[in-house]
Amino acid sequence: RVKTKWAATRPKFPSTELALHNFDTTYSMQFKDLWPSIRVAMLCEQKYGALINSFSSEPHIITDLEAQGCKDFISIGCSSNEVHQHSQEDTTTSHRDSTELEPAVLQHNISLDIKCLVFPQGDTSRFKPARPDSSGILGYYLLDAASVLPVLALDVQPGHTVLDLCAAPGGKTLALLQAHSVDYLWANDLSVSRTTRLRRTLQSYVPKELLDENKIHITSTDGRQLGLTEENRFDRVLVDVPCTTDRHSAMVEENNLFKRSRTKERQKLPLLQTQLLVAGIQAARRGGHIVYSTCTLSQLQNECVVQQAISLAQEELGITVQVQDLRWFAQCFSDTFHFASHLSVGELVLPHLCANFGPIYMCKLQRIN
């Protein structure tokens, strides 16, 4: 038997094991009987979506993907006006009252300019890498399809100014640009190396002439400061915060937040997330909308952060924010994603073996004064 060369330097407790232990303790209480099936899905191969790049001149991207069996989950979700009534026994999706939801479906906008194709439920086929067009612009961007939902929920309208507070590596920034309605986009991320990655992503997907500083402004600064410096400025603010990235933490050793040396950093996450959300609220104009999102199942990093930020904004800044109901929105996409039920605020996509997207949490707020 050959001994592995690095056996002596291998940690006694791999970070992935520590993460799973932590999840088993907290999520078995949070999700009760549902936790084992969420756990199994999180440990299996994640499903991707192909975010179609409307800047590519490649002619047959969508038809080629459709020929492989893929469908645009956004247009399907929007066209299904029929609102399903869930049975009380169905615990994986929310229990919604259809009569209450129908008017909301009709009132709200979902951008059909954003297209994201996925393989059907239960089909675990993989996407081929995207091809460049004659100018080198790639045809699609692969990402967890559920991560497009916070962008759709933000509902960017023509002429809007948008702040993407924690933007790198840039999947959601790219999705925001697909709507072609953004008048001015400020994409920020604290990490210089990740901001460099964001720039590279945009260079591979957006024509040079559109990457104009007056239209797309990219910075590497602490998002918490932008609340003060850019107060009351943006129509839309996306606050896609750093979190325990549950799927990554359960599967990958590299850059794992559950590494013992990163315990303090991990414990401080809810505070950082709250401060970032308060900054996002402050940077939104009166009447503007803010979407808070994470890729964790943790109630402490999701609902608790939202509640805490709402209180702090009111008490310390005198800003009132109102939580926007996204139940109609989850209802639209419930054929593609499995949403958690009974959340106090926001919506949460749960990993599921037949639709292995997420976790993605999102909550939409409106700044009132």
Q: Where in the sequence numbering do the catalytic residues fall? A: 295
* Cβ pair 149, 52 in contact under 8 A: no
Residue 55 CB, nearest approach to ligand SAM (Å): 17
Identify which range of 48-56, 119-127, 182-190, 337-345 contacts ligand SAM by CB under 6 A.
Answer: 182-190
Binding mask 110-149 for ligand SAM (x = CB under 6 A): -------------------------------------x--
CA–CA dist 220, 191 (Å, integer): 6
- Select 16 or 244, whichever has its Cβ closest to ligand SAM: 244
50 binds ligand SAM (CB under 6 A): no
Provide Rg for the chain, Cα atoms: 20
Q: What is the rounded (10 degree) CA torsion for 124, 129, 134, 135?
A: 110
Q: Which of 152, 166, 297, 330 binds ligand SAM (CB under 6 A)?
A: 166
Residues 215-254 that bind ligand SAM (CB under 6 A): 222-224, 240-242
Closest CA to 41 of 296, 347, 357: 357
Establish whether the linkage from the previous residue to 359 is cis, with ω within 30° of 0. yes
Which H/E stretch holds residue 188?
Answer: strand 182-188
* Stretch touching ligand SAM by CB under 6 A, among 117-125, 131-139, 187-195, 300-308: 187-195
Q: List the one residue from 19, 138, 152, 168 that touches ligand SAM (CB under 6 A).
A: 168
Choices 23-31, 128-136, 186-194, 321-329; region in contact with ligand SAM by CB under 6 A: 186-194
Q: Measured from the CB of residue 213, what is the shortest distance to ligand SAM in angstroms?
A: 19
Please state the closest distance from residue 146 (CB atom) to ligand SAM, in A. Answer: 11
Cβ nearer to ligand SAM, comparing 91 with 221: 221
How many chain residues touch ligand SAM (CB under 6 A)? 20
Q: Hey, which residues between 59 and 78 contact ligand SAM (CB under 6 A)?
A: none
Which two structure tokens, joined as six digits, stand for 353?
């073996």
Residue among 189, 230, 235, 347 that touches ligand SAM (CB under 6 A): 189
Options 74, 190, 284, 309; binder of ligand SAM; rule CB under 6 A: 190
Shortest distance, position 342 Cβ to ligand SAM, whole Å: 25
Q: How far is CA 115 from CA 46, 49, 51, 87, 226, in A?
A: 20, 10, 6, 30, 31
- For ligand SAM, which residue of 34, 42, 154, 167 counts as binding (CB under 6 A)? 167
Select the residue interacting with ligand SAM from 169, 184, 196, 285 (CB under 6 A): 169
- Buried b / exposed e over 310-349, threshold 16 CB at 10 Å, is bebbeeeeebebeebebbbbbbbbbebbbbbbebebbbbb
Contact 355, 343 (CB under 8 A): no
Q: Which residues contact 58 (CB under 8 A, 6 or more apart)?
A: 131, 132, 133, 139
Q: Tell me the C-alpha distance between 125 and 133, whole Å.
A: 24
Q: Where are the alpha helices (DSSP H) in the chain?
A: 15-31, 35-42, 61-67, 73-79, 98-107, 149-154, 171-178, 192-205, 223-229, 246-251, 263-267, 269-283, 303-317, 327-332
Can residue 270 be called a binding residue for ligand SAM (CB under 6 A)?
no
Q: Which is nearer to ligand SAM, 71 or 194 (CB)?
A: 194
Among 71, 84, 108, 194, binds ligand SAM (CB under 6 A): 194
**Closest to ligand SAM by CB, 105 or 313:** 313
- Cα–Cα distance measured from residue 321 to residue 170, given in angstroms and rounded to the nearest whole number: 27
171 is a contact residue toward ligand SAM (CB under 6 A): yes
Instruction: Return the number of the residue (343 or 362) whose C-beta is nearest ligand SAM.
Output: 362
Q: Least distance to ligand SAM from the beta carbon of 116, Å?
A: 13
172 binds ligand SAM (CB under 6 A): yes
Q: What is the C-alpha to C-alpha distance for residues 355 and 119, in angstroms, rounded to an integer?
A: 9
User: Would you list the DSSP string of 281-303?
Assistant: HHHEEEEEEEEEEES---TTTTH
Contact set with ligand SAM (CB under 6 A): 147, 165-172, 188-191, 194, 222-224, 240-242
